[in-house]
Amino acid sequence: MDLGLRDRTYIVTGASGGLGFATAKVLAAEGARLVISSRNEQSIAQAAAELGSNVVGIPVDNADPESAERLAATAIAKWGELHGALISVGGPRPGTALETDEDDWRAAFDSVFLGGLRIARSVARSGAEGTSIAFVLSSSVKAPLTNLAISNGLRPGLAMVAKTLADELGPNGIRVNGLLPGRIATDRLRELDGRAGDPEAARRTAEKLIPLRRYGSPEEFGRAAAFILSPAASYVTGAMIPVDGGFLRAL
């Protein structure tokens, strides 16, 4: 299937590694033009160089109120138009609801929630016909994850914002969706498994709860995300789409 991504322009945040980079790699391979970002200047420059000449990397922090407009302005200045964004950020610090520090909640809210909302608004203002926005959320939208209280608190709220934006922007032909990754084999997940003391045992235990009996690969997530962003998914909006091997049992 031709996803119709060639010569379309997308922003991908959190793109120096993990799910953001995996999605950017698929988009670039399909002929899309990209503005990718992360907080680390060296790592985002390296990612852009690896992805090819139609990719611009800029170091920005989603928590910075000026980042959203800078990303959109870069895309417009470079290619004259913008067709969407994958809004991805690093996961908030682990911890329980009783013990996590208030400063960690505030930092995560600025980056995950407000940062994501600002980027969505900026893309909606600047986007061309058929613009598509996808938030990288989490299975915590549907069910809480142990020791990830901040994610459990923020992701469901951002999911509802995404659905609200789908209502508000739909009449303008703009689609907004959420992606709910489960246990995808990224550095973030390896870090979380490592906190259990025996990462391999933690992985084996987790895999028993997944109907496909394995962790997903970043590439599998990237393909799903690229489809949702593409014109091939032109009648999909306001949806929360699990990419989790069947882990979520909720409807």
237-247: average pLDDT: 97
Q: Is residue 141 very low, low, confident or very high in pLDDT (cuts 50, 70, 90)?
A: very high
Q: Is residue 159 very low, low, confident or very high in pLDDT (cuts 50, 70, 90)?
A: very high
Q: Is residue 1 very low, low, confident or very high in pLDDT (cuts 50, 70, 90)?
A: confident
pLDDT > 80? residue 196 = no
Q: Is residue 219 very low, low, confident or very high in pLDDT (cuts 50, 70, 90)?
A: very high
What would the 3-class secondary structure string for the chain be?
A: CCCCCCCCEEEECCCCCHHHHHHHHHHHHCCCEEEEEECCHHHHHHHHHHHCCCEEEEECCCCCCCHHHHHHHHHHHHHCCCCEEEECCCCCCCECCCCCCHHHHHHHHHHHHHHHHHHHHHHHHHCCCCCEEEEECCHHHCCCCCCEHHHHHHHHHHHHHHHHHHHHHHHHCCEEEEEEECCECCHHHHHHHHCCCCHHHHHHHHHCCCCCCCCECHHHHHHHHHHHHCHHHCCCCCCEEEECCCCCCCC
226-243: average pLDDT: 98
To the nearest 10 degrees (0 to 180), the angle between helices 115-126 and 67-79 is 30
Q: What's the CATH fold of domain 9-184+217-238?
A: Rossmann fold (3.40.50)
Q: Is residue 251 very low, low, confident or very high in pLDDT (cuts 50, 70, 90)?
A: confident
**Rg of the chain's alpha carbons, rounded to an integer?**
17
208-232: average pLDDT: 97
- Average pLDDT over the chain, rounded to an integer: 95
Q: pTM value?
A: 0.95
In this predicted structure, what is the pLDDT of residue 61?
A: 94
In this predicted structure, what is the pLDDT of residue 231?
A: 98
Q: What does the domain layout of the chain look like in residue ranges?
A: 9-184+217-238
In this predicted structure, what is the pLDDT of residue 23?
A: 98
